[in-house]
Amino acid sequence: MRQLKLGVMISGSGTNLQALIDACSQSDYPAQISVVIANRPNAKGLKRAKEAGIDAVCIDHTGYDDRASFEDAIHDCLKEHEVELVCLAGFMRILNAEFVNRWKDRMINIHPSLLPSYKGLHTHARAIEDGVRFGGCTIHFVRPEMDNGPILMQTVVPIAAGETEESLAAKILFYEHQMYPAAVRLIAEGKVRVSGNKVVYSDTDLGTKGMISPLV
């Protein structure tokens, strides 16, 4: 079985990275992680990668004079490891359009909201403040605009009465860990392609059931 070569980019603890590591450890999973890149030397995800026997590289953004040279170093590392799909998993740096376009339709990101709503930071607090009934998370192909691009997969989570930012984040993170490996599998198995601003699916169950909150 051919395995798609992944490059995972992180800035912190790497819980979504761990979900991908666990998936890739299964014999029938159609992808493998070639390299993990962190922009912070103390990122806990680097330890996760090393413990799994994966090449772990710190490319510290503070060691470069400008964003372009920093991103060139990342690009060179990805190419050196023959990466075919870049997975942003809590990578907390905005990427230049030049870098994004180099990896167009070959780079995905996970964001803790139902895009296109609540782009940027503090997504859970903003959703609770606005009184919306559902939060969620989105995996999308990356475009130069922040938190924008063809949507690959989403999970919707009801926002309970008395919900806090922390409790909502925990509920959504549970689904993020399931969703990221599933999204990579879709790509690796050739079941999705990008057409314009949308993702086109083949042989994929898109579901039919809805959710109501509050229940009636």
Residue written as token pair 């083949």: 202
28 within a domain of the structure (yes/no): yes
Residue % of the chain over a pLDDT of 70: 100
26 within a domain of the structure (yes/no): yes
Domain that holds residue 55: 4-201
**Is residue 215's pLDDT more than 90?**
no
168 within a domain of the structure (yes/no): yes
Backbone phi, then psi, for 143, in 5-degree steps? -125, 165
208 within a domain of the structure (yes/no): no
61 within a domain of the structure (yes/no): yes
Report d(CA 145, CA 147) in Å as an integer. 6
Reported as a single tens digit per residue, the pLDDT across 8-42 is: 999 999 999 999 999 999 999 999 999 999 999 99
Domains: count for the chain: 1
CATH number for 81: 3.40.50.170
Reported as a single tens digit per residue, the pLDDT across 56-115 is: 999 999 999 999 999 999 999 999 999 999 999 999 999 999 999 999 999 999 999 999
Sorting pLDDT into bands at 50, 70 and 90, what band is 1? Answer: confident
Structure tokens, 78: 């990805």
Of 74, 77, 75, residue with least CA distance to 61: 74
What is the predicted pLDDT for the residue at 29?
Answer: 98
207 within a domain of the structure (yes/no): no
What is the predicted pLDDT for the residue at 7?
Answer: 98
Mean pLDDT for 145-158 is 97
Q: What global pTM score does this model have?
A: 0.96
**Is residue 206's pLDDT more than 80?**
yes
What is the predicted pLDDT for the residue at 216?
Answer: 74
Residue % of the chain over a pLDDT of 90: 97
Question: Taking the CB of residue 146, how many other CB atoms lie within 10 A of it?
Answer: 13
150 within a domain of the structure (yes/no): yes
212 within a domain of the structure (yes/no): no
How far is CA 128 from each of CA 74, 96, 117, 148, rounded to the nearest angstrom?
36, 31, 13, 22
| Residues with catalytic roles | 111
